[in-house]
Structure 1
Amino acid sequence: MAQKMTDEQWRAFVSQGTRTGKLSTVRADGSPHVAPIWFLLDGDDLVFNTGKDTVKGRNLARDGRVALCVDDDAPPFAFVVLQGRAELSEDLEQVRHWAARIGGRYMGEERAEEFGARNGVPGELLVRVRIDKVLAYAAVSD
């Protein structure tokens, strides 16, 4: 039987290794848009970067509601779904800082500054989502 994760467990789960998140945003017509993202937790916030002119960026500027799913697709399976509302920033110092930290997680610390420079440029956004709701289960197939 599936086991509900504690706060500590789900935070460790989503932060483990290089698991990507599947981010859902709301299109102008109300339909969902889902895309994989690199991300970090910062306290009670989910943090990621995206281009201002991407589908995600345009959706978030219009409607900040998001849901993010992080899962383990190997038995006994586990998943975490985070929901919240996004705040956008174009502050290049912050965009660059977080782009480097996120790049370090996914590509290794030796490449962190490379990703900060690549993704910390005009036209990129820092997205900070205050997590309002968490659904987190482990051992789903047990």
Structure 2
Amino acid sequence: MTTPIVEFNGDFSEPGAPAVPWADVERVLTTSEMFFLSTVRADGRPHVTPLPAVWDGGVLHICTGDQEQKAKNLARNPSCVLSTGTSALHGGLDVVVEGVAVRITEPARLRELAALWKSKLDWDFGVGEDAFRDPAGRNGLVYGVRPAKVLSFGKGPYTQTRYRFPSAEDLA
């Protein structure tokens, strides 16, 4: 994974507070089980739903049923936001990931991800032709969201830090 460009926002942080290190943000992404996925419906209305996710290899992975609203939204517009954190006001770290959801269909990678879902979340997924299969035989479409931008909001002290991930064109 590319090391992000860190941009501390002092205007929305307590005086003297430091930027949150990327390692702290990545720890939240690795250990969090539930995230909120925000997508856009065909008519432009937002759609937000909680779902489990797995951080692996610099990519946040999600799974959704092939008939669910979020799958329909991502098929039409793969830009999305995933957020996680804590409901506490005076402690913890909230993290927001912006990116594009890309379907993962390669069987070997799906098997790796199914093993991660089992080890982290104790969910049993089999692997079908190009998707997860749950014990009832339903398809679960798997997506990877590589961050374009991540925001962290510390709450003890209050901080706001942005992490940008330059594309290959930006580095040329």
TM > 0.5 between the two?
yes
SS of equivalent to 1:80: strand
Match of 2:163 in 1: none
Task: Identify if the C-alpha distance between structure 1 residues 3 and 70 changes in structure 2 by more than 3 Å, giving closer, same or farther.
Answer: farther
**After TM superposition, where is structure 1 displaced by more than 4 Å over at least 4 residues in a row?**
none
TM-score (norm 1): 0.80
Distance 2:114 2:149 in 1: 25
In the alignment, does 2:76 pair up with 1:62?
A: yes
Q: Deviations over 1:5-49 (max 9, x none)?
A: 221110101222x53100101111111111111111122211111
**Is the Cα–Cα contact under 8 Å of residues 82 and 96 in structure 2 kept in the other structure?**
yes
- The one-letter amino acid paired with 1:120 is F
* Superposed displacement of residue 125, structure 1: 0.9
**Is the Cα–Cα contact under 8 Å of residues 49 and 125 in structure 1 kept in the other structure?**
yes
Match of 2:45 in 1: 31
- The one-letter amino acid paired with 1:59 is N
**Is the Cα–Cα contact under 8 Å of residues 77 and 141 in structure 1 kept in the other structure?**
no
* Superposed displacement of residue 54, structure 1: 0.6
- Aligned residues: CA RMSD: 2.4
Q: 1:104 aligns with which of 116, 119, 127?
A: 119
- The one-letter amino acid paired with 1:7 is W
Distance 1:103 1:25 in 2: 26
Q: 2:85 aligns with which of 71, 84, 94?
A: 71
Distance 1:81 1:30 in 2: 21
Higher mean alpha-carbon deviation, 20-29 vs 97-106, is at 97-106
Q: 1:120 aligns with which of 118, 126, 132?
A: 132
Q: Which structure's residues are more often helix, by fraction?
A: 1
**Is the Cα–Cα contact under 8 Å of residues 33 and 54 in structure 2 kept in the other structure?**
no
SS of equivalent to 2:99: strand
- The one-letter amino acid paired with 1:58 is K
Of the two, which has the highest radius of gyration?
2
TM-score (norm 2): 0.68
